[in-house]
Structure 1
Amino acid sequence: MGGERSMFLVMALLAAQAQDVLPVTRAKPRTTTPWITNDDYPAADARQHHEGTVAFTLQIDPSGHATKCDVTASSGYPGLDNGACFLLMRRARFDPARDASGKAVASNYPGRFTWRLGKAKPTRTGVDGTAGSKAPPPPGMLELAVAALPATYKQPAKAEIRFGPDRRVIECRIEESSGSAAVDKVACAQLRSLEDASAGSKAEAAEYIVSFRADPVPRP
C-alpha cells in the first residue's frame, strides 16, 4: 500500500511539473489577412488543374515565427503541399503561446488550406514580381537536426545555389540569414553536398529554405 501511495505522489508531482511548462494560451495569428490566396497558385499545378486541401502543423517559436511546417494530410499533389508550407513559413506570424507565468513559449499551430481553381485564369505572383508560368517555383525545403542552436538563430535560412555543367552545386549564397552566421554556414555546407540537386531540371540555380531543429545527441 505504501509503495502504491508513493508512486501516486510521484506521478502527481510529475503531472504538476508538466502542467507548469505547458502553454496555457495558444499562439494566435497577428493578422486576419489570409496568408495564402489563389494568386499564389503554383503555376504548374494550375495548368494541370490540380486541386486539394493541405492539412499542416506549424511549429511556432517564442518570438512568434514559424520554424517548421509539417504536412499532416496531403492534398495529393507535392506542388500544392510544398507551396502551402513555403508560403506559411515566410508569411505566418503569431502572438506566441504563453505558460502559466506569462512567459512566451514554443508551441504548435494546426491548420488547413484548400487550393481551388476559380473561373478566372489562375496566376501566381512570384518573389520577383512575375506571375503565372513565368513565376519562379517555390524553394526546396531542407530540414537539419543539430545538437544545439545558438541564441541568435531566429528563422530558417533562405539560400540560392548555382549548378555547374555537371549539375553539381558550385556556389551557395545566403539571401535571408537565419540570424546566425554559423548556422548560415552550416546551411550552405549541406546544400553544397547535395548531388544533382536539380535532377530533371535545366535551371542554372535554385532556392532552398533550410530550417534547423535542436536534437541533442543522447548520452551513452
Structure 2
Amino acid sequence: MVIAAGMIAATPIDPVHWLTWDDYPREAKILANGGVINASIMVSPQGKPIRCEVKHSTDSSKMGMILCRTLMSKAKFEPARNMRGEPAYMAYNMGVTFQRALDYRSKQGPAPLQIITPVDIALDVAHLPDGMKQKIIRIVAQTDESGNIIECIPSTPDPASAKFEAVACAQAKGLVADPALDENGKPVTALRSWAAVFRTAAK
C-alpha cells in the first residue's frame, strides 16, 4: 500500500485478472497495435468501484467503454484511509496499456493488461540532481466536499526530495477538481492521488 502519514491510497487487488481476451471487442482483436487508456475510478470505503470515467484514450475502438464496464464488475481494491485512519472514498486515477492480437483465437487466460501511473502534472526545470533527465513525485491528498485539497503529503516521503514534493503539492492545489460523489451522487470528502514529473529540457 501507498502510505502518507495517516492517509493510505486505495490499492488494486490482482489487476492482471481484471480483463480477459474474451472482453476485447472485435475491432481490437483483428488489429496488431495496442493503446493506452487513462481512467478515473471512484472507489468506495469498502474497496468497490462505484463509478468509472475514461479521461483519455489513444484508442479509437470500444476499449475505453469495455475497460470501464469490466472495472465496475471485476475490480477490487484495498480501501483508502483518510487522515484519521478511517476507510474513505478515493478517486483513483489509473492508466492501462493493452495489446491487440492478430491471432486472438489462440489466446487464453488474462489479457496482457498493465496498470501504469498517468502523469497529471508536468514541469520543466533547468536541472535535476545527479544528472537525471526526469523525476517523478507521487502525492496523496484529501479533499473536502467541494473538491478543494485540505491536506497533501508525498506518498513516499524522501528528505532529499522535499522541495520537489512541496512544489508537486502546490501545483496540485492549483488544479480544478470536481467534487467526489458517493453512490447517491452526494459530494463527499475523498482521497486523490497525483503524479508530477519534473523534467529537464532536451538539448
Normalising by the residue count of structure 2, what TM-score does the alignment of the two structures yield?
0.45
Higher strand share: 2
Normalising by the residue count of structure 1, what TM-score does the alignment of the two structures yield?
0.42
Which of these two proteins has the greater Rg computed from alpha carbons? Answer: 1
